[in-house]
Amino acid sequence: MNIRLLWFVLLAVILIAAPFFTYPVTLMTILCFVIFACSFNLLLGYTGLLCFGHAMFFGGAAYITGYILKTTHISLELALLGGVGAASLLGLLVGWISLRRSGIQFAMITFAIAQFIYFIMLQLPFTGGEDGMQGIPRTKLFGLLDASTSLEFYYVVLAITALSVALFYRIVHSPFGEILKAIRDNEPRVESLGFKPERYKLVAFVLSAGMAGLAGGLKATVYQFATLTDVSFPISSEVILMTLLGGLGTLTGPMVGAGLIILLNDYLSSFGEWALISQGVILLIVIIFFRRGLVGELNALMWKMRTRAGSKGSASTELASGSPGE
Amino acid sequence: MNFEKALPAPALGRTVLSVENLSAWYAESKALHGMSFDVREGELLTLIGRNGAGKTTTLRSIMGIVRKRTGSIKFNGDELIGRRVYEVARKGIGYCPEERAIFSSLSVKENLTLPPILQKGGMSDEELFKTFPNLLSRAGSQGTKLSGGEQQMLAIARILRNGSRFLLLDEPSEGLAPVVVKEIAEIILRLKAQGFTIILVEQNLRFARRVADRHVIVEHGKVVDILSTAELEADMDRVQTYLGV
Amino acid sequence: MFDMISPQLVFGQLLIGLINGSFYAMLSMGLAIIFGLMNVVNFAHGAQYMLGAFAAWVLLNYLGVPYWPALFIVPVVVALFGILLERLVLKPLQNLDHLYGLLATYAVALIVEGLVRQRYGSTGLPYGSPIPGGVNLGFMFLPYYRLWVVVFSIVTCLGTWLLIEHTKLGAYLRAANERPDIVESFGINVPRMVTLTYGLGVGLAALSGVLAAPVYQVSPSMGSSIMIVIFAVVVIGGMGSIIGAIATGYMLGILEAMTKIIYPAGASTVIFVFMILALIIRPNGLFAGAGKS
C-alpha cells in the first residue's frame, strides 16, 4: 500500500512538472489519447468487444464540440458535454445495430458504420470537409477560468483526464464492471445466471462511446481544429495498437500504449511513411511475441519473481489491478 | 450386407497399440490422468464409463486431435505423440467420431468418398456402395438429410475407405433405435471377423458385451479395471457402479 | 429530373457499375474463401490487390513485360508471398482468438502500403490499356478493355464457384470449412490445404490487381479504399459464402452506379446504408446458410 502511494505521488509530480520540460501540446495529445484508450479498453479489455470504428465517436464529438464552441461560444465544459452527449447518442444507435452480432462480425459492422460516418462527415458542410473545422475558440472553463495559453490549458486537460481515469477505474471495479468481465469470459454463463448480456453490452458501448467523445472533444479544443483524420480508420486502428502494445486486459496498459505511440508518431512525423510502417511492424511484433503487451509482460514478470521469492506480506507493486491476464 | 473381401482373421496376441501413462489436457484442464492399456491385433476392446469419464478424450488423444499430452502411445512400435493428425491417420488408424461429423455442405456420395484410399484394402466407390446399398439410393442427397441410423452407417462406411485396419469407433449406437443398433452391431462383428482391430467407446453395456473381447473401465480419466467379457458378466454389480448416474 | 438523363449516361454509368461490381465480386470472393476455411479476415487483401497492380506496373516499366504475361506471372508471385505470410505469421496464430490473425494481416497491410507509398509516392501511376479502343453501340461507347474485365471476372467467379461446389478439391475445402479436424483424421494434410487456400485467395486478389491496373490508377491507396467496400460486401453477403460474395459484389456495384445517376451525393454512402438495412432485416447476411455465419 505504501509503495503504491509512492508511485502515485511520483506520477503526480511528473505530470505536474512535465510541461516545463517538454511541449505542452504533445503532452495534451497524450492525455486525450489516454482517455480514448481507456474508453476502448472498457470495450475490448473488459467486455470483450472489438470495435473497429471507435474513431467515429472520437472524431464525431470533435466536430460537435468544435461546432458548439464556434457558433455559441458557450463555456468549455458545456461544449465538451455536448460532444459527449452526441457521441453517447451515436453509441446508442450504433450499438443497437451492431451488437446483434459478436466477434469478428461485430468488428466488421462497426468498421463499415464508421466508414459511413466518415463519408457523411466528408460531405456535411459544417465540418469543412477536406479542409476541416478551423479556428475553434477556447472558451472559459465554467465561464470564469481563462485557460488560453497552452501551459494553463495543460492543467485543465490534466484535471479532466485524471477525472476520466478515476471514473474508468470506478466503472471497472464496480459490480457492473464485474459483470462486464464475466460477459467477456463466459457470456452464456452470465445469461444462465439471469442477467441480460445484451443490455450490459449496450450500456458499456454507450459509456465507451461517450468517453471517446470526451477525448475527441478535448482534442478539438487542444488543437483548436477538427479534421477528417479524427474520424478516419487510422485513428481507430491506432487505439487498437495502443491497447495491444500496452497490454490487453490490464488497467494501465492502454494508457502506457497511448503515450508511447503518440511519442513515436511525434518522433517519426518528419520521416514520411515510416510512422505508419513502424506502427505496422510494432503491431506485428506485439501480436506474435508480446501478446500480453508491455504492462501485461511486466505484470507476468513480477508475478513470477514474487512467487519464486515466496514473499507473502510484501506490498504489491502491480501496475494493474489483479493477477496477470485479469 | 455382404463384405466381398473375406480376409483371413489373424491370430490374436500381437500388441498393436500400447498406451502408457497417457495424460491429456484441454487447455489448462487435465482430462486424462495416466491411462495405460494395450490393444491386441484382431481384438475388439471397449472403453466403458459414464459421461465425462474420458473415453472420447482417449480416442481423440490417440488420433492427435487432443494435442496436449504426456506419456506414450505406440502404434506398431511407432510413437504417435508429437505427430500430426493426418500422419496418425496415414499410419493406419481410422476414427469415427461420436458426433458422426457428416458434412452438411457435401452430398452423401461426396461424404462417403472424401477420405483418400491410403492402404491396400481400402474400399473403392463401387465396393462401398455394394456393401452399403441403402447409401447408394441416397447418394445425391445432402449429407445431413439422412436419418440418424443412415448417418451412422455413412460415418462407418466412410472410414473404411482409407483401408485402415485399426478403427476407433465412438458411441456408434448412441441415439439410435434398437433395430438400427442391431444392424450396426452386425457390421461391427463382421469387421471384427475380417481381422479389423477395434476400440469401441460405449455407454450401452448390452451392446458392448455382444461385440467385445475385453472391456476397459474408465473413470475420472483413469483406467480402473480391464476385464474380459466373462469376467465382466461375473461382476456386473461392481461394473454398474462405474456406469451409474 | 428523368428527362435530363440521357441513355448515354445511364448505360455509361451501368457499365462503370458493372466494372466496379466485377472487382467487388472477385475480391470479396477471395476474402470469403479465406474466411470460410481459416476464420480469419484477411485485412491484407487490399494490399495484395494493390501489390498485384504495382507488380504489373513494375514488370512493364522495368522489365518490359506487357499485360498478358503479367496476368499469369503476377498472381503466382504474389501468391507465393501470401504463402510465406501464412506460414510465418498466420499459422503460429491459428490456435488463438481469430482476431489476432485479423490484426496481424492488418499490420502487414500497413507495412506493405507504407513501403509502397514511401517508394512510389501517393499519386497514381498510369498503366496503358492492352486493348485500346472500343465499339460504338449507338446507345453507348463500349471500350474493349472494359468488356474484357467484365467477361474475365464473370468467368473467374463462375470458374471458382464450379471448382468449389463441383470438384473433389472443392469437396475437401467445403468439408474442412466445417470440421478441419475430422478431415485431417482421414489422412488429408489439412495444414497444407490451409496454406494453399490462403495462397489461392491472395492470388485472386493480385489477379484482380493486374486486371484493375488499366482501369483505375495504380496507386498505393487503391487497396485500402476498395477494402472498405469489400468488407461491406462480405458482411452483407454472409461472411463465408462464395455465392453471397459474388452476387452481392455485382449487386452493390450496380446499386452504386444507379445511385450516382439518381442521387449523386449519396453514391459513396449508399452501400453502407444498404448494409445497415440488410443487417437489421437479415443479421446473418443475405445469403446465410450457403456458408459460415
**Domain assignments of chain C as residue spans, ordered by start:** 7-122+139-281
Q: Domains of chain A, with CATH numbers?
A: 2-309 (1.10.3470)
| Cβ–Cβ contact C190 with B under 8 A | yes
| Percentage of the residues of chain A whose pLDDT score is greater than 70 | 94
Chains that touch B (3 or more CB pairs under 8 A): C
- Interface contact flag, A104 C41, Cβ < 8 Å: yes
Which residues have a Cβ under 8 Å from the Cβ of B171 and sit 6 or more positions away? B56, B98, B201, B202, B203
Q: What is the pLDDT of residue B6?
A: 43
Q: Are A288 and C93 in contact (CB under 8 A)?
A: yes
Across the interface, do A272 and C231 touch by the CB < 8 Å criterion?
Answer: no
Contact C107 A280 (CB under 8 A): yes
- pLDDT tens-digit map of A102-124: 888 888 889 889 988 998 999 89
A269: pLDDT strictly greater than 90: no
Q: pLDDT per residue over C73-109, tens digit each? A: 999 999 999 999 999 999 999 988 888 998 999 999 9
Selection from A99, A112, A124, A70 nearest residue A187 by Cα: A99
From the number of C-beta atoms within 10 Å of its C-beta (0-12, 13-18, 19+), residue B234 rates as exposed
Q: What residues does each domain of chain B span?
A: 15-243
Give the gap in angstroms from C-alpha C280 to the nearest C-alpha of chain A.
7
The reply to whether residue C186 touches residue B162, judged by beta carbons under 8 angstroms, is: yes
Q: Which residue has the higher pLDDT, A49 or B127?
A: A49
A95's CB contacts (< 8 A; 6+ apart) are A201, A202, A205, A206, A209
Average pLDDT value for residue range A86-90: 97
ipTM: 0.89
Chain A residues bordering chain C (beta-carbon distance below 8 Å): 50, 97-98, 100-101, 103-105, 107-109, 111-113, 115-116, 119-120, 122-123, 233, 237, 240, 244, 272-274, 276-277, 279-281, 283-284, 287-288, 291
Average pLDDT, chain C: 90
Residue A321 has pLDDT above 50, yes or no: no
Chains C and A touch (3+ CB pairs under 8 A): yes
Q: Is the pLDDT of residue B45 over 70?
A: yes
Q: Number of B:C CB contacts under 8 A?
A: 64
Which homologous superfamily is B15-243 in?
A: P-loop containing nucleotide triphosphate hydrolases (3.40.50.300)
Q: Given this model, what pLDDT does residue C21 score?
A: 96
- Is the confidence at residue A13, as pLDDT, over 80? yes
3-state helix, strand, coil in chain C (%, to 5): 75, 5, 25
Binned at pLDDT 50, 70 and 90, residue B7 comes out as very low
| Per-residue CA distances from C84 to A290, C52, C80, C91, C213 (Å) | 21, 16, 6, 10, 25
CATH of domain C7-122+139-281: 1.10.3470
- pLDDT value of position A1: 65
Report, as an integer, the average pLDDT of B67-85.
94
Residue B123: what pLDDT?
78
pLDDT digit string, tens, across residues B101-124: 999 999 998 999 999 988 877 777
Mean pLDDT over residues C144-168, rounded?
95
